Amino acid sequence: MVTLDSKVPDGPVAEKWDNHKFSIKLVNPSNKRKFDIIVVGTGLAGSSAAASLAELGYNVKVFTYHDSPRRAHSIAAQGGINAAKNYRNDGDSVHRLFYDTVKGGDYRSREANVHRLAQVSVDIIDQCVAQGVPFAREYGGLLANRSFGGAQVSRTFYARGQTGQQLLLGAYQALASQIATGKVTLYNHSDVLDIVTKDGEACGIVTRDMLTGEVHSHSAHAVVLATGGYSNVYYLSTNAMACNVTAAWRAHRKGALFANPCFSQIHPTCIPASDEFQSKLTLMSESLRNDGRIWVPRDRDETRSADQIPEDDRYYYLEEKYPSFGNLVPRDVASRNAKTVVDEGRGVGPLKNGVYLDFAAAIARDGAEAVKERYGNLFDMYERITGEDPYSTPMRIYPAIHYTMGGLWVDYNLMTTVPGLYAIGEANFSDHGANRLGASALMQGLADGYFVLPYTIGDHLAPKLGNTPVPTTDAVFTEAVQAVDDRTRQWTTKKGGTHGVEYYHRELGKIVWEYIGMARNEAGLQKALSEIPALREEFRKNVKVLGSPDGINSMLEKVNRVDDFMEFAELKARDALQREESCGGHFREESQTPEGEALRDDENFAYVSAWEWKGPDQPQELHKEPLEFENVKLTQRSYK
């Protein structure tokens, strides 16, 4: 029987973290070298955690499926990272960042975690600057800031349009220095295909060496999953091609509860799809909304080019509907409104599947040079992809799946329901509720990796002093290795097959986008729940995987991942079905205000849904962690 103990400390929210840090057990510095920790993933969360844990003295093994840790998908984040520094004198504070994040998450996050995130945000900037992250500076030499959607203060720090890249390089460089000292052992080209437990506790992992095909096991006193999100269940998303749910899903099958899988963020400013061959959607930084005005023609049958359409014939729908936030409304609101106008037939572009993001006013006001200074690389990227020049013609944008707020359920210490198994960054569910504000993903990844996990993991390890890790010769490991090997080989020994893996992934994506996308309803979700298992069965029977399991085989890597996405998608639909309310990135059409805004039901749904695996052919069991809001009053979100 699983019980959800969030371990949120007592006391006022602003004191919880400091009190907790003092009360949790410590591992004496000279004893830290007696503990081995496995970190899976080398994005912002994984790299920062692995480097910080090694600096403390722990022996760290870090795993990535890339050739180098620096390629993790955090590298692609563009816009920035939030911190409550109040360098702009505009009224920012830890409390305000906390408040904005709880409200922005539509009251479906845990207050204590969010407050801690806001608190340590300040330290993150200091740490990154000390490492040499080249944040943008003013002429006076001080750090520059900008504002982001969902906030009315300028608290976002940025490094051109490549903030994620620079923060990841900072964390990767810290990791590289620890690799050089030998405190960290790096395993690259390693696909983590199972989590191993003994007597209910996590004791290691099973990996497939993606160069040789060999299956290995690794043991440790604790396992940390920093494996990112599940956006690629949609096939078309802004995530890198290799992002997947496998390690988290395998942990779920080993007893870790999966929380809020129906929460996925849709990013409002992506380049619309141009044809069906498209493999992914490219995101344009949300910071563009600071200076770009969003509009569509009022007339559905408009045929003039954008520059020929006079002001009166343009529908600046966000500015009209939300006068105080305008183009800077949070992502869910911006996305849904874009869908509405496109669905009404007002879309722009050859496929009428986008809205305009227009910089004409900014260029007229500040000059093209100033705009180029701010967004030059994004404009270049747009031009390359579409063949259109955004300095002279408005960009076309449309929402796309971008970030996932659901993930493995974790307590305040970031530990899953499997003792010794941690989930950090996007892989856990804890900080963003039903919607994530801009520039806060980088913040959470680094907060967890630099400043939360290194403290909280000690609480689990301290009592284990003197215990040696379960040897990899133990039956739990040999059996897990055998199971992984069997599962991997079954695909390649199967003969025949009708379609490659991409085909099935694309088909799955269509179902998930159609029924669990920007808007959901009961009939659609029921349909998804019948179509997904049918597709999965067809996939398992008929997928064609060529080549050998020994050595590099990109089809084999992908087939395991899509297999897990198939199971995951079903849980996602089930979670969306039971949440009969709208909140943030989950819009149930049955639950909306008369103006068409998301309508929450706090009476019945102010909880985290956490699902327990019950076996391959059984539906998962729902557990609920009630959410209490003592500091941020539950109110209907309004950005008008």
Partner 1 sequence: MSKMLNLKLKIWRQDGPHSQGAFLEVDANDIPEDASFLEMLDVVNERLIDDDVEPITFGHDCREGICGSCGVMINGQAHGPEKATATCQLHMRKFNDGDEIVVEPWKAEAFPVLKDLMVDRRAFDRIIEAGGYISAPTGTPQDANATLIPKEVADTAMDAAACIGCGACVAACPNSAAQLFTSAKLAHLNVLPQGQSERWKRTENMVETMEDFFGSCTNHGECHDACPKEISLDFIAFMNRDYVKAKVKNRSLAAQ
- Residues from 460 through 519 that contact partner 1 (CB under 8 A): 500, 502-503
In this chain, which stretch among 46-54, 389-397, 425-433, 464-472 interacts with partner 1, using CB under 8 A? 46-54
Residue 548 CB burial class (10 angstroms; 0-12, 13-18, ≥19): exposed
According to DSSP, the β-strands at 421-423 and 222-225 are parallel
Under rule CB under 8 A, which residues in 130-189 are in contact with partner 1?
130-132, 134-143, 159-160, 162, 165-166, 169, 172-174, 176-177, 179-180, 186, 188
Q: Cβ distance 600 to 636 under 8 Å?
A: yes
Binding track over 335-374 against partner 1, x by CB under 8 A: ---------------x------------------------
Residue type, 602: D
Q: Provide the 10 A C-beta neighbour count for residue 215.
A: 23
How far is residue 625's CA from residue 430's CA, in Å, rounded to a whole number?
Answer: 12
Q: Which is nearer to partner 1, 102 or 441 (CB)?
A: 441
Smallest distance from the beta carbon of 133 to partner 1, in angstroms?
8
Under rule CB under 8 A, which residues in 556-595 are in contact with partner 1?
none
450 is an interface residue for partner 1 by CB under 8 A: yes
4 is an interface residue for partner 1 by CB under 8 A: no
Q: Which is nearer to partner 1, 135 or 565 (CB)?
A: 135
- The tokens of 367 are what? 């000059």
Q: Cβ distance 109 to 433 under 8 Å?
A: yes
φ/ψ (deg, to 5) at 530: -95, -35
Smallest distance from the beta carbon of 523 to partner 1, in angstroms?
32
Size of the site for partner 1 (CB under 8 A): 80
Smallest distance from the beta carbon of 308 to partner 1, in angstroms?
24
Under rule CB under 8 A, which residues in 387-416 are in contact with partner 1?
387
Among 31, 87, 542, 631, binds partner 1 (CB under 8 A): 87
Best CA proximity match to 266, nearest among 346, 354, 350, 330 = 330
Under rule CB under 8 A, which residues in 194-233 are in contact with partner 1?
211
Among 278, 468, 604, 636, binds partner 1 (CB under 8 A): 278
Among 26, 368, 529, 552, binds partner 1 (CB under 8 A): 552
Q: Which is nearer to partner 1, 299 or 538 (CB)?
A: 538
Smallest distance from the beta carbon of 77 to partner 1, in angstroms?
9
How far is residue 454's CA from residue 424's CA, in Å, rounded to a whole number?
Answer: 11
φ/ψ (deg, to 5) at 219: -115, 160
In this chain, which stretch among 273-281, 314-322, 396-404, 611-619 interacts with partner 1, using CB under 8 A? 273-281
Instruction: Give the burial string for 594-624 (b: 16+ CB within 10 Å, else e).
Output: eeebbbbebeebbbbbbbbbeeeeeebeebe
71 is an interface residue for partner 1 by CB under 8 A: yes
Q: Which is nearer to partner 1, 498 or 635 (CB)?
A: 498
How far is residue 206's CA from residue 191's CA, in Å, rounded to a whole number?
Answer: 8
φ/ψ (deg, to 5) at 278: -60, 135
How far is residue 582's CA from residue 590's CA, in Å, rounded to a whole number?
Answer: 8
Smallest distance from the beta carbon of 544 to partner 1, in angstroms?
6
384 is an interface residue for partner 1 by CB under 8 A: yes
Tokens 């992908």 locate to 558
Name the 3-class secondary structure at 599: coil
Smallest distance from the beta carbon of 590 to partner 1, in angstroms?
36
Smallest distance from the beta carbon of 434 to partner 1, in angstroms?
26
Smallest distance from the beta carbon of 295 to partner 1, in angstroms?
24
Looking at residue 450, the DSSP 8-state letter turns out to be I
Under rule CB under 8 A, which residues in 286-345 are in contact with partner 1?
none
Q: Which is nearer to partner 1, 534 or 546 (CB)?
A: 546
Half-sphere exposure of residue 436, counting CA atoms within 13 Å on the CB side? Answer: 29
27 is an interface residue for partner 1 by CB under 8 A: no
Q: Which is nearer to partner 1, 138 or 589 (CB)?
A: 138
Residue 228 CB burial class (10 angstroms; 0-12, 13-18, ≥19): buried
In this chain, which stretch among 363-371, 446-454, 563-571, 582-590 interacts with partner 1, using CB under 8 A? 446-454
| Region of residue 523 (left: phi > 0; alpha: psi -120 to 50; beta: else) | alpha
Q: Cβ distance 229 to 423 under 8 Å?
A: no
Q: Which is nearer to partner 1, 181 or 618 (CB)?
A: 181
Q: Which is nearer to partner 1, 182 or 616 (CB)?
A: 182
Q: Which is nearer to partner 1, 274 or 578 (CB)?
A: 274
- What distances in angstroms separate CA 294 from CA 153, 334, 335, one per listed residue? 21, 10, 11
Q: Which is nearer to partner 1, 476 or 562 (CB)?
A: 562
Smallest distance from the beta carbon of 48 to partner 1, in angstroms?
7
How far is residue 590's CA from residue 594's CA, in Å, rounded to a whole number?
Answer: 11
Looking at residue 635, the DSSP 8-state letter turns out to be -
Per the DSSP assignment, residues forming a β-bridge with 201 are 198
Q: What is the DSSP string of 173-216?
A: HHHHHHHHHTSEEEE-SEEEEEEEEETTEEEEEEEEETTT--EE
Contact partners, residue 316, CB within 8 Å, separation at least 6: 293, 294, 295
Q: Which is nearer to partner 1, 135 or 148 (CB)?
A: 135
Q: Where are the alpha helices (DSSP H) in 413-517?
A: 441-446, 453-461, 475-493, 501-516
26 is an interface residue for partner 1 by CB under 8 A: no
Smallest distance from the beta carbon of 403 to partner 1, in angstroms?
15
Q: Cβ distance 256 to 223 under 8 Å?
A: no
Among 16, 20, 32, 73, binds partner 1 (CB under 8 A): 73
Tokens 């199967």 locate to 494
Q: Which is nearer to partner 1, 483 or 555 (CB)?
A: 555
Smallest distance from the beta carbon of 170 to partner 1, in angstroms?
9
How far is residue 254's CA from residue 205's CA, in Å, rounded to a whole number?
Answer: 11
Smallest distance from the beta carbon of 607 to partner 1, in angstroms?
34
Smallest distance from the beta carbon of 503 to partner 1, in angstroms?
8
Q: Which is nearer to partner 1, 8 or 129 (CB)?
A: 129
244 is an interface residue for partner 1 by CB under 8 A: no
Among 16, 34, 61, 66, binds partner 1 (CB under 8 A): 66
Smallest distance from the beta carbon of 246 to partner 1, in angstroms?
16
Q: Which is nearer to partner 1, 165 or 444 (CB)?
A: 165
Among 323, 367, 471, 551, binds partner 1 (CB under 8 A): 551
Q: What is the DSSP string of 29-87?
A: HHHHTT-EEEEE--SHHHHHHHHHHHHHT-EEEEE-SSSSGGGSGGGG--S-EE----T
